[in-house]
Amino acid sequence: MHEHDVVVVGAGGAGLRAAVAADEEGADVALVSKLHPVRSHTGAAEGGINAALRDGDSWEDHAYDTMKGSDYLGDAPAIETLCQQSPDEVIRLEHEGMPFSRDDDGRMSQRPFGGLSFPRTTYAGAETGHHLLHTMYQQVVKRGITVYDEWYVTDLAVTDEDAPEERRCYGCVAYDIRSGDLDGFVAHDGVILATGGPGQVYDHTTNAVANTGDGQAMAYRAGVPLEDMEFVQFHPTTLPSTGVLISEGVRGEGGILYNAEGERFMFERGYANNDGELASRDVVS
């Protein structure tokens, strides 16, 4: 049995950031992941991170673009928080050693991306997610946060009240992939699920084979309400048949989409007469 104040399940970008935040509050934190952190699917995020950093841009404009890109279905408080905090988070990553690409004057490079009214996408070459994982994992190691990698969490440990809202979560159950040993993780203050998406339920996806929706499934079994499960984001550009992702940065740098008839269909078929290839992902998909 392993005991900690906070147990974070999943060690991609979200899990690593959650672990660091809990550690900053003085908690004894553990990361439990079926993969080594730097092998998480965050590493496939090539294009960049949006943040309103420059004169002429604002978090309000970023929030509007985000809400518009959600077809006005996004959660407004969550969008507001994201857009307000993203500049500080990007600067924090820079201070922690994230090797962002830079302009000739030394400023952090920013480029146009889909659905943006201002070129606010920061990036690190074509491997933004890869560098982000390594930067954040370094912080986890620096802080001495306990990492249980290649441990597969199977279920949350919850009390058995009939009403789900009355149940309490005291940890989780996992097995060591290398040995097959089953063990428990006690979380005195809480469990954070940061396990990524369920992309592998689809026949065609750019998601890694590890993205099997484990967290959503175990939360559902424990009686936790799930929200907005119908909203699954698809990356719109891939290599045919292989599913290998073609970064949105390709379109951000001027890449053009043609169909089998040689038409620039985003314009010629009227899908996005103003934005073309740089329309938001729901449109391009």
Q: Indicate the DSSP class of residue 204.
A: S
Which residues are identified as catalytic? 281
Q: Quick one: average pLDDT of 192-207?
A: 90
pLDDT at res. 244:
77
pLDDT at 64 over 80: yes
Domains of the chain (ranges plus CATH)? 2-41+139-221 (3.50.50.60), 248-284 (no CATH)
Q: Which residue has the tokens 């979560």?
A: 169
The 10s digit of each residue's pLDDT in 6-25 is 999 999 999 999 999 999 99
Cα separation, 107 vs 52, whole angstroms: 14
Q: Residue 171: enclosing H or E segment and its boundaries?
A: strand 169-176
Confidence grade of residue 211 (pLDDT, cut at 50, 70, 90): very high
Pick the most confident of 16-25, 164-173, 201-210: 16-25
Distances (CA, A) of 277 to 105, 113, 235, 267, 271: 29, 9, 13, 8, 10
pLDDT at 243 over 80: no
Question: Which of 33, 2, 27, 255 shows the shortest CA–CA distance to 13?
Answer: 33
Q: Which residue has the tokens 């809990």?
A: 22
| β-strand pairing of 169-176 with 110-111 | unpaired
Q: Quick one: average pLDDT of 53-66?
A: 97
CA dihedral (91, 97, 99, 100) in degrees, to 10, reads 0
Return the HEC string of 88-114: HHHHHHHHCCCCCCECCCCCECEECCC
Mean pLDDT of the chain, nearest integer: 92
**The pTM is what?**
0.89
Cα separation, 110 vs 201, whole angstroms: 34
* Contact present, 153 and 32 (Cβ < 8 Å): yes
Q: Which residue has the tokens 């899908």?
A: 271
pLDDT at res. 232:
84
Question: Which of 28, 41, 53 shows the shortest CA–CA distance to 119?
Answer: 53
Confidence grade of residue 220 (pLDDT, cut at 50, 70, 90): very high
* Contact present, 172 and 153 (Cβ < 8 Å): yes
The 10s digit of each residue's pLDDT in 225-240 is 999 998 887 777 877 7
Q: Over pLDDT 70: what percentage of the chain?
A: 99
pLDDT at 45 over 80: yes
pLDDT at res. 274:
67
pLDDT at 52 over 70: yes
Q: Residue 149: enclosing H or E segment and its boundaries?
A: strand 146-149
pLDDT at 272 over 90: no
